[in-house]
């Protein structure tokens, strides 16, 4: 089991639209593709930064490939960026839980 910490820097004036896309589409499609949301946060230092943690069942790269090619995601993304991209930057960090982690050790 792999965890992933992702950070999205919203484009100027687009944080509301980014959050709405997550709320309405992204979070509903994650489970279909082996991605379990653990939590979402907005940075106290930069309110245009969304940080979230997910847990992957199976191979993370395969999960993301399935997600990115899902016709429901393709349509939702296209509609949400009709007036410009919602993010300036996305970063990702894969993590393996320790044997003493409250979230559970790696499987």
- One-letter-per-residue 3-state SS of the chain: CEEEEEEEEECCCCHHHHHHHHHHHHHHHHHHHCEEEEEEEECCCCCCEEEEEEEECCCHHHHHHHHHHCHHHHHHHHHHCCCCCCEEEEEEEEECCCCCCCCCCCC
Tell whether the model's pLDDT for residue 107 goes beyond 60: no
Give the model's confidence band at 9: pLDDT under 50 very low, under 70 low, under 90 confident, else very high.
Answer: very high
The confidence score (pLDDT) of residue 104 equals: 72
Q: Domain 2-95 belongs to what architecture?
A: 2-Layer Sandwich (3.30)
> What does the mean pLDDT of the chain come to?
95
Residue 107 structure tokens: 């499987």
State what percent of residues in the chain have pLDDT above 90.
89
Question: What's the confidence (pLDDT) of residue 105?
Answer: 65
Please state, in angstroms and rounded to a whole number, the distance separating the CA atoms of residues 49 and 84.
Answer: 17
94 pLDDT more than 50: yes
Distance CA 59, CA 98 (A): 19
Tens of pLDDT, residues 18-68: 999 999 999 999 999 999 999 999 999 999 999 999 999 999 999 999 999
- What distance in Å separates the CA atoms of residue 46 and residue 42, rounded to the nearest whole number? 8
């Amino acid at each position: 089991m792999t965890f992933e910490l992702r950070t999205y820097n919203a484009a100027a004036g687009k944080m509301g639209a980014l959050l709405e896309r997550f709320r309405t589409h992204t979070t509903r499609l994650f489970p279909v593709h082996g991605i379990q949301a653990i939590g979402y946060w907005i940075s106290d230092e930069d309110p245009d930064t969304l940080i979230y943690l997910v847990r992957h069942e199976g191979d993370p790269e395969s999960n993301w490939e399935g997600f990115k090619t899902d016709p429901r995601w393709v349509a939702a993304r296209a509609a949400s960026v009709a007036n410009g991209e919602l993010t300036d930057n996305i970063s990702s960090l894969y993590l393996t839980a320790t044997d003493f982690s409250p979230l559970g050790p790696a499987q």
